[in-house]
Amino acid sequence: MSPPQLLLSLLLLMLLDVEPSGATLIRVSLRRVHSGHKTLNLLRRWREPAELSSLEASSPGNKLGLVPLSDFLDVQYFGEIGLGTPPQNFSVVFDTGSSNLWVPSRRCHFFSVPCWFHHRFNPNASSSFQPNGTKFAIEYGSGRLNGILSKDKLTIGGLKGASVVFGEALWEPSLTFTFAPFDGILGLGFPILAVEGVRPPLDVLVEQGLLDKPVFSFYLNRDPDVADGGELVLGGSDPAHYIPPLTFVPVTIPAYWQIHMERVKVGTGLTLCAQGCAAILDTGTSLITGPTEEIRALHAAIGGIPLPPGEHLIECSEIPRLPPVSFLLGGVWFNLTGKDYVVQITWGGVHLCLSGFQPLDMPPPAGPLWILGDVFLGAYVAVFDRGDTNTGARVGLARARPRASGGRGGGPAQAQLSG
């Protein structure tokens, strides 16, 4: 490369690192909660969307916002939003595997036990509430969530004023919700997944000029010695969260965040997904799941000891000697060490180490596939980019920056929008 070309390349790199005008990363205090296990895994019933819709995006502004995340047993994350005027606060899971926003309602059925253990939306306490009244139901593996749709103002990560249609849950038959440390779910999947054709919150934020682009990124902190659980960045990504470069992989089916995975390797002796396979990046799934036979072979390679509920125990002393598990995505290997894929918990004074892999068979046409949940996303920052009319949806991945070297402070940080 000639000196003029080198100088031009350096200038372009400097321009890419310049914070966009008006792009401010809003930081909110985070909390960590240790309670329950795999709530969304128990609830989720994956389905293949019947049809796909075209992706539409606009770029009305140049703003960025951060939402705080809290840790759910080290591998599930949730944070705060507000609904109404003045805002009524709710703790929600930010879930890339669904597309609706719902919270419990003050008008819920008397025998809907989860309502009495969580914050409930009160329409009478909001001056901006607009009734809708359309009934909705969301299917989960352990039952249905029923309610009515309503419209009100959403406050999220410092962004205010977006009028969103959301679900007021009137009947939650699943006891799983009773003990969940979150109130509801905010879906970040594609519009095709939304029940009753409701516009997902991300789309609304873009359409109403509160976000520049339909892009968001997750930094999930799994360090049990650190108080915060990470950050969700709306509108772009924060380079302070990851070690460049980002590797972008195209979304193959714009419903879930589904991509093509070329191969999976365990150490040097075992290859899985040998002919290529589908994979979904899902913040609402705690672990990494895959076809039963392949996960069984993986556990044999890492010395997993089977437990009755489908978990696998790992000897904690063996973590430093465990083989890496590597995923080939977009021509780049993404490696997980034993420390990355072993979930360490303390329960009743007993320290346990559990495998972060679990079998889950998805029948055709949706499967077979792998789900890269929070065990993977804790090691790698993911940038979810819905794209526009010229570029398709894609996911960017880069190794999460260790907290000790991240230099996180309370002030604004550099922001990066996907081009």
- The ranges assigned to domains in the chain are 26-37+66-217, 242-399
Give the pLDDT mean for 220-247. Answer: 83
CA angle 64, 67, 71 (to 5 degrees): 150
Q: Where residue 110 falls among pLDDT bands split at 50, 70, 90?
A: confident
Q: Which residues of 192-212 are buried (b: 16+ CB within 10 A; e: fewer)?
A: bbbbeebebbbbbbbbbebbb
The answer, yes or no, to whether residue 15 has pLDDT greater than 70, is: no
Residue 60: per-residue pLDDT: 35
Q: Give me the CATH topology for the region 242-399.
A: Cathepsin D, subunit A; domain 1 (2.40.70)
Q: Do domains 26-37+66-217 and 242-399 have the same CATH topology?
A: yes
Check residue 46 and report its DSSP letter: -
Residue 64: per-residue pLDDT: 56
Residue 68: per-residue pLDDT: 59
Residue 220: per-residue pLDDT: 84
> Are 167 and 83 within 8 A, CB to CB?
no
Which region among 26-30, 34-38, 40-44 has the lowest average model confidence (pLDDT)?
26-30
The answer, yes or no, to whether residue 265 has pLDDT greater than 90, is: yes
Share of the chain above pLDDT 90, in %: 50
Residue 67: per-residue pLDDT: 62
Which region among 2-16, 185-199, 219-233, 244-258 has the lowest average model confidence (pLDDT)?
2-16
> Are 46 and 282 within 8 A, CB to CB?
no
Choose from 108-122, 125-139, 212-226 the range with maximum mean pLDDT.
125-139
Q: Which CATH superfamily is domain 26-37+66-217 in?
A: Acid Proteases (2.40.70.10)
HEC per residue, 85-98: CCCEEEEEEEECCC
Q: Which residues are catalytic?
A: 95, 282
Average pLDDT, the chain: 80
3 by Cβ neighbours in 10 Å (0-12 / 13-18 / 19+) ranks as: exposed
